[in-house]
Copies of this chain bind each other. A is one copy, B any other.
């Protein structure tokens, strides 16, 4: 396994913890948020901008890269790092979530999933073995095992089947992946059923992956339900491995996830809402497209150190967004990702300082 985890400090009142994930491409300070670069690019921004805003590690999507440009092209380029010119760590998801989201376009069997491309309708077959082959070709530092992610809501039997399949597939992934230098993380499923979560976690932990993904949350359920499931699972988590809550990126969920012992997060939320003209400030959302900002010549947040806030006004960014100018969505994207990376850095600092509970309290006091 090419990664390891060092626990630096545990919070006394919560499960929050600060640590370091060591990779061949450098250390990642945790807890960490990973910006999503679906198609080998974090939408609208460059690798240099990603570094400037404090991204330590990014996520890229196996399903999308497999379809376009093709994992063979990426491999021929020398892997994803070379292809997209990003020399810090990368994690690739397994495509599980994507192909299960295709709804009418896919057919699940024990062997794998048959699905149609959302691009051209062509037929494809993902098995655990095939996904491992693709992820190894992409060459990320961390690959995720191929899992079966249940929707929300889902019947007990559906979730149970998906859980069993996920464990079975995790073993098959591990088998074909055993000689790889790439780290492979297992994924826990089990939907919103505490006993299924417990069982899935037990089975995945038993396989001794170097990191553990928590899948199947933030799929439409109310936040309190997600927190309950995390509360139930986290005491059973091994301490010496990073825990990655997949697909979660709302600032309040990051704070609450960390409080429950999560080390890693990813989500398209900051970049997606940015492209719709919404930015985060410490009070919550600010819809910068709105008319009220047409003559507001202050930065998005005068206390923010991001490129957008250091150089441009709300009025200018609003103008760019209204005019459909690309620089507008670049600036909102930079701001939102900077907001999250710095939120995580502040959270980490508070854990190390022993003031996380105060940080959490203050955060929620302001956040709307």
Contact A323 B39 (CB under 8 A): yes
Closest to A85 in B: B311
Q: Mark A74-87, 1 if CB is under 8 A from B, else 0.
A: 00111000011100
Task: Check A297 for interface membership: any CB of B closer than 8 A.
Answer: yes
Chain B residues lying within 8 Å of A330, measured Cβ to Cβ, are 46, 326
Chain B residues lying within 8 Å of A294, measured Cβ to Cβ, are 69, 73
| Cα–Cα distance between A365 and B73 once the two chains are bound (Å) | 35
Task: Check A209 for interface membership: any CB of B closer than 8 A.
Answer: no
Number of residues on chain A facing chain B (CB within 8 A) = 36
List which A250-277 residues lie within 8 A (CB) of chain B: none
Q: Pick from A47, A313, A316, A330 the residue with the most CB of B within 10 Å.
A: A316
| Cα–Cα distance between A319 and B83 once the two chains are bound (Å) | 10
**A110 to nearest B CB, angstroms?**
33
Chain B residues lying within 8 Å of A40, measured Cβ to Cβ, are 316, 319-320
Contact A316 B76 (CB under 8 A): no
Q: Mark A57-90, 1 if CB is under 8 A from B, else 0.
A: 0000000000011000100111000011100000
Q: A43-B326, A84-B316, A85-B312 provided; 5 other pairs, C-beta below 8 A?
A: A43-B327, A68-B319, A69-B315, A69-B318, A73-B319
Give the B-binding residues of A (Cβ under 8 A).
39-41, 43-47, 68-69, 73, 76-78, 83-85, 294-295, 297, 307, 311-313, 315-316, 318-320, 322-323, 325-327, 329-330
In the A-B complex, the 6 residue pairs with the closest CB atoms: A69-B319, A44-B326, A39-B323, A41-B327, A85-B311, A41-B325
